[in-house]
Each structure stands twice: as structure tokens, then as C-alpha cells.
Amino acid sequence: MSKLDKARLIDSECLSGEFYFQSLIEQAYENMLLSDGDIERLQYECLNLLAVKSEQYNAGDSSSVRVEVAQSLMASILFTLGLTLKAYQNPGDAAEALRNGSVQALYERGRKRIDTLLSAAKVIHKRLTDRLVETPNVFYRSTLVNAVNGFFKLYNADFAAQEIHITADYPLYNPVPKLAGIEFISAYLKAAYNENQFLACFARGDIHHLLCGYAENYAGLLMNIYEPVLISALGCVIANADSRHLDLTKGVLIHLNDMFFCMTDGEILAALQSAADELNRLFSFSPELAAYIKQSLPLIAKNVRLTLKLGSLGRVFITPVYP
């Protein structure tokens, strides 16, 4: 069987982002890329690594650990191995590495990868907190600053690499993939950084008035701030209104309603895409932010279509309120 054939045997869609190692083993075994002997060797080597980790965990004081501790240590080992295997170009190559490499060597590579991800996440977090948009919404700062700091304090790459520790209450608009440990926090922080970068393009007062239009008590609501601001900015561009100040008046809303009403789903998405391109020209977004916004558009288009049908487009395109 050629290398290309082997690579195609495992469908990436069948692999779990959260439990990558276990899902890869299962897929590789089902597709006969790993034999019973390979599985037994991998189990034996993982067990030896668990014995070493248990001893380190107990600092040599105790030769036994509670089963919950052993399970958590094993989850940490498998998560770390998964990180190494994800770095391969395709799952077939990763299965090949499992067949030919030692668990210890794969683990050490994964452990180094955690350190790299951790350092990168700290840099992103520093940049995020340095430019964090001021908002009365309590969840924005408490999650993006305090909770993430809590994660960095609690995270233990040697014994609990798979743990997230925090609940990451503040909801981001684009769904964060199902991941674990530092991988999840990295993805969460990258998305939060993009959303904050976008919000930073607008004046604090303009965002505040827009959010008051959403709900006057928005300060205590667990809501995403990026969504109404992005939608408002897109609406202003489509209706030739002042997008820099999110000045989406009732007149603009009527105009948008008339425009969208005659459009197909594809045309709505195209109009939003074109408006996003215009915003990009106006604010010179980073390529990452431009891509993030592009990823948000299908869901926005879906909500526009839904609220048009219900005659409540004003629930998507918010009109600012000046209390």
C-alpha cells in the first residue's frame, strides 16, 4: 500500500480534537494500520510512562496513587501524545509514527509543544489585556483577564496537561473547536484577541450606546459584544451610513429591511461579504481578523434571513440608544 493510500485510509473527520490519541488509535486499528501487537506495545509503553509520572507526582513518597489520580495522569499523557500526533501532515503519517516510534519519544515532543503553545498563549494574552476594550460588561474583563490569568496559574503541563481549569464564561461568536488543555485556551485566546481587535476600531461610547440598544442592563448579561457591533458596522456599510460610529438609525434599518427582503440567501451572504471587504479597507484589519470576520458571516446571514421572516430585523441590526 502506498503512503498516499495509507494517508487516505483515516478520515480526519472521524478524529476527535479533544481525544486525538485515542481516536487515532481506534481509526488506525480499524483500518489495519496498527496490529494487535502494536496496540499491546503502545499500552505497555504508556503504562511504563504512567508509572514514571505517578512516582514523580508522589515525589517518591508513595508507590500507589488513587485511581482518579492515575486516570488524570493517563489523560494528561494521552493528551500530550495527541499534540505530537496532530503535528503530522495527515493521520496516516501519525499512525505510522505510532507504529515505529517509542511512546516516550512522542511524549517528549508533545511536552515541548505544550511549552511552545503556553508561551505563545501568554504573548497573545498580554497583547489582549494591553488593548482590552473598556466595557461595563462584567464578564468581558473577568473572563478574558482574571479567569485566563487563573488558568496560567493553575495549569500543570506535567501532570494535568488536559485540564482547562476555568469555565471561560464569556461567549465568543465563532465557535471554539472542542479541544482540551492549552490547545483550547490558545484557540479561545486567539478568537478573543480577534474580537477585541475588531471592537478596538470603534469608540467606547459608540459601542456603549449600541449595546444599550441591545439591552440597557447589558453590563450584567452574559452576551457576546462583537456580534452586535460587527452586524451594525456591516449594516451601516450596506446602507451607506456612518459605519465608523455605528450610526444605525431607524431609517437605515427600514432601508436594510427593504434591501434584504428582495435577496436570496446567497445574495444576503454576498452583500455581507462585500460589506466586510469594505470594512477591511476602512480599518485595515490583520489577515487573521479578516478571516475571523469572514467565518462569522454565514451565521449572521442565517440570522438575517430568520428575522426577516419574523419581521424583526431590528433584533439583529441594533439601533443605538442614548440613555
Partner 1 sequence: MSFELLPFASGIIQKQAVNEIIKLNNYTAHYGLTLTPQQAIELAETRTIALRDNGRIEFGGGVIDRIIREFSDSPYLSSQNYAETLHDLIEAFYYYKNETMDLISDEDMIKFMKISFDGVCRGSTDLLAGKELHRLAENLKHRRPADYSEDEQSIEEDEDEQA
Cβ distance to partner 1 smaller for residue 38 or 206: 38
Cβ distance to partner 1 smaller for residue 41 or 244: 41
Binding partner 1 by CB under 8 A: which of 67, 153, 240, 281? Answer: 67
159 binds partner 1 (CB under 8 A): no
Cβ distance to partner 1 smaller for residue 65 or 263: 65
Binding partner 1 by CB under 8 A: which of 50, 212, 229, 289? Answer: 50
Residue 25, CA atoms < 13 Å, CB-side half-sphere: 18
14 binds partner 1 (CB under 8 A): no
Q: Return the C-alpha cell found at 109.
A: 515532543
Give the interface size with partner 1 as a residue count (CB under 8 A): 29
192 binds partner 1 (CB under 8 A): no
What are all long-range contacts of 276-283, with beta carbons under 8 Å and residues at least 24 apart?
276/234, 278/237, 278/243, 279/233, 279/234, 279/237, 279/243, 282/243, 282/244, 283/201
97 binds partner 1 (CB under 8 A): no
Burial class (CB in 10 A: 0-12, 13-18, 19+), 280: middle
Which residues lie below 8 Å from residue 9, measured CB to CB, with a gap of 6+?
31, 33, 92
Q: Tell the smallest beta-carbon distance from residue 89 to partner 1 (Å).
A: 23
Q: Tell the smallest beta-carbon distance from residue 103 to partner 1 (Å).
A: 11
Cβ distance to partner 1 smaller for residue 53 or 208: 53
Cβ distance to partner 1 smaller for residue 40 or 134: 40
21 binds partner 1 (CB under 8 A): yes
Q: Which residues of 205-238 are buried (b: 16+ CB within 10 A; e: fewer)?
A: ebbbbbbbbbeeebeeeebbbbbbbbbbbbbbbb
Instruction: Let me know how long the chain is.
Output: 323
Q: Tell the smallest beta-carbon distance from residue 60 to partner 1 (Å).
A: 8
54 binds partner 1 (CB under 8 A): yes
- Cell 444605525 belongs to 248
Helix axes 103-130, 36-57, angle to 10 degrees: 60
Instruction: Give me the 103-142 binding string for partner 1, x by CB under 8 A, dash otherwise.
Output: ----------------------------------------
Q: Is 2 left (phi over 0), alpha (psi -120 to 50) or beta?
A: beta
286 binds partner 1 (CB under 8 A): no
Region of 39-47, 101-109, 177-185, 214-222 interacting with partner 1 (CB under 8 A): 39-47
65 binds partner 1 (CB under 8 A): yes
Closest C-alpha to 53, from 19, 22, 77: 77
161 binds partner 1 (CB under 8 A): no
Q: Write out the residues near partner 1 by the rule CB under 8 A.
A: 21-22, 25-26, 29-30, 39, 42-44, 46-47, 50-51, 54-55, 58, 61-68, 70-71, 74, 78
